[in-house]
Amino acid sequence: MVGAGAGGCVAAARLFDAGCEVHLFEAGEVSETNTSPHLAESTSRTDLIDGSVFASTYTGGFRYPYLRGRALGGTTAINALVQMWGTKDDWDAWSAVHGCTGWNWRSVSAEIALLGFPSHFASASETGPVTRAVLAAARGMGAGEARQVGETSDGAGSVALSLREGRRADAFSVFITPRVLEDAGRMIVHVGEPVEEIAVEADRARGVVVGDEEFIADGVVLAAGTVWSPILLRRSGVSRAGIGRNLKDHPAISLWLRLRDGVDTAPASLDVTGLVVASSVDDSDINLLPVDPNQLVVAVTKVSSVGHVVEVDGTAEVVLGTIETHDDATRMLAALRLAADLCATKEFGAVVESVSIDAAGTALAALLAHDDETVISYVRRQPGAYSHAVGTCRMGVERDSDAVVDNAGAVFGVDGLWVADASVFPDIPRAATQLPVMAVAGRIASGIAERLR
C-alpha cells in the first residue's frame, strides 16, 4: 500500500480485515493529533505539509504552494475536518454518465455509513462568533436547515467535523493504529520511506521501489493521492494517455474579515462549524464556509473546468484550470453575490466590521462594482482555498483513452496494480472530499480482497 492518507488508510484497514498482510508505505512522518482544525494555530504542523507541490490557476499563472499532507494520515492530518457526503445526482452520474457500472449513490452512501468515522457537531459553547453570524444571517435571508449527514441539501447549519473527544480524528489514528496494536506482524507501517516507483515487469506489478531497494509484493495498491498517484504511474512506465489529466477542484476564494472590537474569538471556539449551501444554476453548488475567525471561504462545488498535474524536477506542478468554462464563471459570480448579500445583513454586521477580498483590505463591494469579466479574471488570479483535487487517474472503460483504471480501481494494462484514492474519481462531488475518498477506497479495497482470496 503506497500512501497513508484518507484512501490508503481505509484501503489498508479493509485488506487487513480480510486477512492480508499489509505493508503501508508513507513518505511523511508521524503526525500528532490536534484539538484545533486551524493550521495556523500550531506552527509545528508545517512539518506535515508536502512542500514539493505547487499550483497555479492557469498555465503560466501565479505559482503557490498547494496544500497537501505529507504524514501518517495524509491531508486528514492538516485539513479543516469538514465531513460531507455529496448529492445523489453526483454519485448516480458515475454510472449513468461516465460508464462506471456499480457506482451510484446507493453504493457510496452505504460505504460512508460503513466507515463509522468519528463525526462531531459543535455545541453552542464551541461555536465561534463568525459561525453564529453566518448562520443567523443565512436564516434571516430565508435559508432552511441544511442536511449535513446523508445527502447534502440547500440551507444553513452546522457541519460534521472529524473530531473525537475534542481531538482531530485523522485517518491513520482511526483505521491503522488499532490494527497495528492488534497484529503488528500483519499491519506493517513504513514511515518516512517514500516509494520512488512501482516495479513493473512483463505488464505486472511485482512490488515497489523504495530508495535503492525493491520490495516484492503479491499486489500493489497506489493511494498517493490525486497529485502523486499519476506521477508514480508515469515514473513506473505506465503510459495511459489520461494519467495526470482530467483534474478537477472546487474553485474558491477567501474573504478577509475584520471583526468588531470586543468580539470574543476565544481559542476554544470552532469557527469552521457553520456552512451555508446554496444554489445558482444547479442544486447545492455554492458553499459559504467560515474557516477561522478572520476568513469566509466562498466556493463553487459543481465544476466543469479541468486541469492537470505533471512532475518537474522532483516537484509536482498542478494547473487547476480554474473557472475556464462559462458555467463555472456563472456559478462563481452567483456565489460572490450571495456572499455579499449575506455580509450586508445586520446579523453579520453586528460581528464583522469589514469584508475584504485581499489582505490589503480591498472591499468586496469594490470588486463586485466591476463588470463580470473583470470579477472572474480577478478570482482566477487568486490562490484557491479548498484543495479538493480529484480525477487524475480517472475511472472508466478501457476504450476511453482518458480512463486510467477500471470500475474496480485496477490499472489498465498492468496486472496486480490498483489505485484507491481521489485520483480515480470520474467527476468531483459537491462535497468536501474526505468522506467520499474514504468510501471509494474502501469499496475498491473490498473488491481487491475478494480477488485475492
Rounded to whole angstroms, the Cα distance separating 425 from 429 reads: 9
C-alpha cell of 318? 498542478
C-alpha cell of 342? 449575506
Say if residue 86 is in the same domain as residue 176.
yes
Say if residue 202 is in the same domain as residue 293.
no
Rounded to whole angstroms, the Cα distance separating 397 from 402 reads: 9
pTM of the entire structure? 0.94
Asked whether the beta carbons of 70 and 27 are under 8 A apart, the reply is yes
Say if residue 330 is in the same domain as residue 433.
no
Say if residue 288 is in the same domain as residue 348.
yes
Neighbours of 269 (CB within 10 A): 21
User: In the chain, how many domains are there?
Assistant: 2
**Final residue of a structural domain among 383, 401, 424:** 383
Say if residue 270 is in the same domain as residue 362.
yes
Say if residue 258 is in the same domain as residue 397.
no
Per the structure, the complete domain to which residue 350 belongs is given by 122-158+252-302+323-383
Say if residue 72 is in the same domain as residue 206.
yes
Rounded to whole angstroms, the Cα distance separating 438 from 123 reads: 26
Angular region, 81: left φ>0, alpha ψ -120 to 50, beta rest:
left
Question: How would you write the pLDDT of the chain (453 residues) with one tens digit per residue?
Answer: 999 999 999 999 999 999 999 999 999 977 665 444 433 333 346 789 999 999 999 999 999 999 999 999 999 999 999 999 999 999 999 999 999 999 999 999 999 999 999 999 888 778 889 999 999 999 999 999 887 788 888 999 988 999 998 899 999 999 999 999 999 999 999 999 999 999 999 999 999 999 999 999 999 999 999 999 999 999 999 999 999 999 999 999 999 999 999 998 776 677 888 899 989 876 789 999 998 889 999 999 999 999 999 999 999 999 999 999 999 999 999 999 999 999 999 999 999 999 999 888 999 999 999 999 999 999 998 887 799 999 999 999 999 999 999 999 999 999 999 999 999 999 999 999 999 999 999 999 999 999 887
Say if residue 185 is in the same domain as residue 331.
no
We report the CATH number of the domain holding residue 31 as 3.50.50.60
Rounded to whole angstroms, the Cα distance separating 84 from 93 reads: 18
Q: What is the predicted pLDDT for the residue at 267?
A: 63
Q: What is the predicted pLDDT for the residue at 350?
A: 97
Amino acid (one-letter) located at 52: S
We report the CATH number of the domain holding residue 333 as 3.30.410.40
**Final residue of a structural domain among 383, 411, 429:** 383
Say if residue 314 is in the same domain as residue 294.
no
C-alpha cell of 248? 478537477
**Final residue of a structural domain among 365, 383, 401:** 383
Say if residue 176 is in the same domain as residue 316.
yes
> Cα dihedral sign for 143, 149, 153, 159?
positive
Asked whether the beta carbons of 159 and 288 are under 8 A apart, the reply is no
Tell me the per-residue pLDDT of 52-81, one tens digit each, with 9 for 90 and over. 999 999 999 999 999 999 999 999 999 999
Long-range contacts of 400-404 (CB under 8 A, 24+ apart): 400/99, 400/242, 401/240, 401/241, 401/242, 402/241, 402/242, 402/245, 402/246, 403/240, 403/242, 404/230, 404/233, 404/240, 404/242, 404/243
Say if residue 148 is in the same domain as residue 266.
yes
Say if residue 282 is in the same domain as residue 402.
no
